[in-house]
Amino acid sequence: MSLRELPVFRDLRGFARYLEDRRLLARVGQPVSLVHEMTEVHHRTLLAGGPALWFEQAQGEGGPAAMPVLANLFGTAERVAAGFGVGPERIRELGEALAAMREPAPVDGLADAMSRWPMLRAALAAHPQQVSHPPCQAQSFLGQNVDLGRLPVQTCWPGEPAPLITWPLVITRPPDGGAGDTAGMNIGVYRMQVLDRDRVIMRWLAHRGGAAHHRAWAARGRDMPVAVAIGADPATILSAVLPLPETVSELHFSGVLRGERPRVAPALTVPLLVPADAEIVLEGYASATETAPEGPYGDHTGYYNSVENFPVMRVSAITMRRNPVYLTTFTGRPPDEPSVIGAVLNDLALPSMKRQMPEIADVWLPPEACSYRIAIVSIRKTYPGQARRVMMGFWGMLPQFNYTKTIIVVDEDIDVRDWRDVAWALATRLDASRDVMVTPNTPIDYLDFASPEPGLGGKLGLDATRKIGAETRREWNRTLAMAPDVKKRVDAIWPLLSAGFQFRAAP
């Protein structure tokens, strides 16, 4: 099975052309301000399931922007799937293939080996290819010519202190690795507050790869080299937000998704490799000692975050393509672009979850709950206490699930994506004196203002499964259902019976 069915998108503009040809991208010719107005236009379009937006006349505080701005790129599940190279209906199939690549089963003969060749070929394609004269360095601004004011950086919400770079792919490496060590490279998305013409604040949480690299550099008393790609190809962008194992390079994984070797080039002023086809690249060093207060900014929680100190990066170079486009987004209370991406990643990761806990039938991380704070898990239950085992296993499955505050476990007859179904299970299968598990003093999202201490709070597990064995002394009755033969007879006469009915949408 091939990992993708769409063309290879080597760069952002190629993906944009593909979307525009299918009326999934619209050009906005009217002037739109980068200060708040673009967020409102983006938000309304996303709520309506609208297209990606190519703003041709973005307006900064000093006048028209020097380049177009692209927003709402991944505002629908269809466009997220296209970024992975497949249609929406094949996301789970892609997830199965990726799970098989992460944990391959033993090969059973030559025929089995040959059937896996497309996946093996994709894995081999992951090793990056260095190119000379990369498009991302068609223009370069060094030293005194560095000016972040060249970029149409958005100010998303009222009360925010400065423009915020919202879709940066931040590239770092450990101090022991060489400039060409792409296997040890980390690519993460961390928002960046613009301080002045050549300084930004790097906001990364302690558990993220960029923060770990920075601690290692700072421990040696050295500033950390950093490169920031803005507007890379969709496979590289999506690889940066996937919950990959720490041993898997986002850059290498982007080659697996794309089915083509990633193209990289040496940065001009820092010892790092950068995506050769990115629209814009910032280079510089994150200080080992200098910090600055960041925020408050609107966050995925729907609140402004607290003001805190984070490392300052001094920009040593800005390089860009000819006629570049600037990629942006906003974060806020769902739905926003990250929550749309999160819903697709849920389906993509499901096969890997099932491999780790085979009793799992389905998992839903509701976007309304910030895409990770609540998990609803359906299981094939076979023994007492199984729901609690699943809760504990889920919290330890991925670092991101460490921040899931509430897990609801239900039986496989419950649709985890239907709140009405889940509510029925909670109302009829849960007893508060037996089926509630509270675990205090656990790691929690630092941005969660509900926790009593920053980064430390409780977790809640709700067992809404049918109780069996030692879990109950009562007989559990059968679920109410119509007999299949009756349903079949009514199916046959239903068109005639209902011909004169007036139906309204269910509440």
* 299 assigned to active site: yes
Provide the whole-model pTM. Answer: 0.89
Tokens of 130: 């260095």
Alpha-carbon span 182 to 186, nearest angstrom = 8
CB distance 287 to 198 below 8 Å: no
Alpha-carbon span 396 to 390, nearest angstrom = 10
Per-residue pLDDT tens digits for 149-200: 999 999 999 999 999 999 999 999 999 988 888 888 999 999 999 999 999 9
Per-residue pLDDT tens digits for 99-110: 776 655 554 555
Do the bridges between strand 406-411 and strand 456-464 make them parallel or antiparallel, or are there none, so unpaired? parallel
In 61-216, the DSSP E strands lie at 63-64, 69-71, 129-130, 139-142, 164-165, 168-172, 186-189, 192-196, 199-202
pLDDT at 108 (0 to 100): 52
How many CA atoms are closer than 13 Å to the CA of 456, on its beta-carbon side? Answer: 3
Q: What domains can you pick out in the chain, each with its CATH number?
A: 12-327 (2.30.110.10), 357-471 (3.40.1670.10)
The residue type at 125: A
* Lookup result for tokens 């199965």: 96
Active-site entry in 11, 198, 223, 299 = 299
Burial of 358 (0-12, 13-18, 19+ CB in 10 A): exposed
Could you count the other beta carbons within 10 Å of the beta carbon of residue 449?
11
- Each residue's pLDDT tens digit in the chain (507 positions)? 456 889 999 999 999 999 999 999 999 999 999 999 999 999 999 999 999 999 999 999 888 999 999 999 999 999 999 999 999 999 988 888 777 766 555 545 555 554 554 555 555 556 899 999 999 999 999 999 999 999 999 999 999 999 999 999 999 999 998 888 888 899 999 999 999 999 999 999 887 899 999 999 999 999 999 999 999 999 999 999 987 767 778 998 898 888 889 999 999 999 999 999 999 999 999 999 999 999 999 999 899 998 999 999 999 999 999 999 999 999 999 999 999 999 999 999 899 899 999 999 999 999 999 889 999 999 999 999 999 999 999 998 877 888 899 999 999 999 999 999 999 999 999 999 999 999 999 988 877 888 888 889 999 999 999 999 999 999 888 889 999 999 999 999 999 998 888 887 655
